[in-house]
Structure 1
């Protein structure tokens, strides 16, 4: 790392520096920048640009500390004062990292920082008046590290099924190491620019009506993709034609119910990209196996359970669920996959989770070792954005479009072809188009399935009477008052105290709410936002089940969604007492049990209600034998609610779909429903080209607590 080069005889233009009498002109810059990063952290969001700032501050604090200690021209008092100011910056860094622990990895002193980090460091040094040599101005290429697919702590957990050993013995030349050196960093005019944040902003700004979907080839006159006896829809054929023409990376973000699994299964056949690895939620493993057999009957599929004792290692398609991926990393990374599909890809949006890290390391291994270095990679999700545009991050990394810090050389070349930089206003729509052309495919039901019936959400407010209703309203009031007291204490501690008739400081309220969320959890004792919502769900259980029973008698089969097991149990008891036969779909079932329940609901006319876990049954399932959904409890995200409804509203549905959302009137339940509806605009703007305003990316829980505080203040 180059030194600070504190020869302050001249500035950038050769004139005497205005700061030449300041013994540490860099310190005010560091103090200002660290406050900027701290402010972003307080909002619960530290994006790539501020992560780069954080790392630069840490590097400069370290080098500035060493310089001050070694500077013999400084008096003891001056040195002490400068070190005190540096310690203040370091304290803010530590406090910020405590709020976002993913920043801790940026404090590592070893290795060469990224080009963006080096560029920012250089700019700050020049701003401080430092005179640097040509060598010190050079941007060095980062060190390329070979990532191990299997972390050391998981090595002892690895299993190698007997069948896999047999496959290796049958072909000892199964997977030669064809690793290539990493692509060199682009040397074009955008080298050194921070491009990740502008790419996110390009999607946040929308497109004035343009949907986020790449241009696909027209539907060919001859359908060469549908197997005998089956017919693909035109939108499915268009994607497969793109695969036939050579495109190999896709974020397939079609709305739920438009046949993404079938497209992925046939894409592997079109690209001749076998063997294929499909990483899927446990709930859809059997469905994936059936889809492979249905759409590519000439191919063999195996589903990996547990330690893989019963798997077929000579299969063409390997289906594994996220939960057991960790014990199979070793052999999966060496089998020689030529394609990889991640189903419900929003499951990997949390980059700090083991699940995400395993998926990304496997994808990188496949990209590096596939003979053409161009494997078929597909991320399937109808809801790629849940809380924030940065939910794209992990998916883009899986597809090889970015490494999390900078775009891939291929994407960078597309951006440079625009002739613009992020400083140009016209850069953003063209940058959005460049990312879309990498392989984002988004079709809505309204656009491609015009014969699919309509979908609507109908709210049914219910009164919680009696003691349970009073206790819930009292608990809400008590929580709101407790948070307001904290807010007022913090406000009073500020200089000047609490102003008369002051407007609520929403930013301070959000900090109070975040502290409350950080100190509680869904399983915590005492009343908090989680326990209150659970109590509301329990209180609504009998009312929701009674309404479901009425629906059965008037419209036929019903799908009943709840979040908590006790609510599901209550509903099943009430429905049984009403003489209705039900099936249950829960997280603790085996895949065989779950599929048997689905088949019974779909095919048995005597089964009236499917009582489903919102989390366990909210993805991948086909329950279109019903056209009515009862949402007894609310999720915390619009995406989970939509996924649940789309178990019914999908290809094969012949009736208009109605989701009946049971809401407890005069409680926080109704506010949560409003917040969930507001979140819908995120995907509308980023993916579908709407000009709706994007709402705050903060969680629904946070906004709900702020609502309680505002109510308590007004009361």
Structure 2
């Protein structure tokens, strides 16, 4: 029956599927109609604010283009034709994307749950008719489009996240106090401002402040009896006072992780998403337990099968973010922290796009989310690299400042044509939340020398192998312990574990390990752990070198040094190599290069050969890739930098393999360190021998195994 629109040739329509007229779609059909409409929206957006009618066109074009893409992939059998049509649809998508950069609120119309208004439904029918496609009658729901082929990106949703979503299905966005994305157009509306803003940092003189004004710390007490340093307390106080975006660019060693976790606590920004490099993922979970013990934290490994979907703090590394970005965007995070934020400086990279997408999603759903970008990279280097970071923080979009920054720039009364604009504009950006402190600036706050443990997760296969070797060693010692008990004919009965016997078994094992070669013993395991940590330790040293300047990298074994140097070579980082088998002149040449050449960023040193007799005080950051067996040996290595001539506090980053005997040995080294040796900088006092730590490690391993028996 005809619809009464005086078009009898279209009288016979069905509600089952849109009926398509056979046409040459290269010249006709829906694609040119969509392209023309998309251009209309683009032109309107260029003239000024997007009107409601243009917003309707934007949404309808996006929906129909999406449906047409699915149809083309499912129905067009000619590869050449399908490729050509998809390319034209990509062009339409590009027009829409460029339009959305002018008004990011248009992105809300693309959400899966976005509702089509009556006007949008009418426009949909009109566009389909213009294209010669039979649309479903009003009031009839069109069928679902064919299922598109699986995307090339692999997306997952961990089962625990499904459980969390089912437990809270009514999570609602908070738009109650959302700030406008675009400031009212006034004096600066026609100026290109991003270039001058970046230039304002390059023009800054030495006296320009690199840090926003921070309030005094209201308290330096943290949960669990821990105490903040004054500079840390200032940032936490700013978050407590209501500040919600920070570019925290403190130098390494000043406790950025603790500041971010406590700022999230002060802002009640839970659930909190933390995106980090893989090498520090485990450390973030550990630090969360120390600084915010009442908040649960979980790390996403791989597909997230082992994560806690109900945790308050979710830590994910950049490398696996792509497969989790879907559910992360829907979970309802109220805060987001990115560590080593310079990782997103390339806006065309997948990791940068995912991070920006998530921050945009959080800002659209939460009125005042906490957004923090952590990096030790000085602001004066390659300021263009901060474009993506500022966009993550919501200070700018692709083309212009957002409302908050635009408002304060307007209040200066200046334009880029005025000389005074540049220092004023720089200060406007700094006041939005840039926090930069150097070690030398807060030297009174921090110890002159400190050791910071950095736990890392080993490669899954290697980690399983090492833990299996530990279990085999423990089983061997348990067998000897039980055999000794059976041979015992007389003597007092011992309830529970016979600790004297445990020590004898451990002593025997250590002696045999010292004399034997090729067996799985504590020395072989520690070497394997060092090899497994080599790449992770080198990656962290490279990050430090880029952000904090020169770094000293210590290792015990030559193969660990080789692996580290290979990593630095691939990363394009120049290094010196200081080893025990070098001639005196070669060794001195390597030391001089590190000390005098600003391009040589890292000194790769043998823990035994370079731990004494050399001065490396040009560096204040040290990476201990492998553990020594004594605190004295460790202290001597640190004192290559912590000595007369050093102007900054020294931080030694000790890389610890989590869930292995490595962590236990680190504890033993610290417990065996005498108070006298700890109190005297550079003390060579031998408080405990290496044999003591080796023996105690075996005692602990056997005791744990006996305790775990049923």
TM range (shorter): 0.3 to 0.5
Compute the TM-score of the two structures, normalised by the length of structure 1.
0.48
Relative contact order: is structure 1 or structure 2 higher (C-alpha 8 Å, sep ≥ 6)?
A: 1
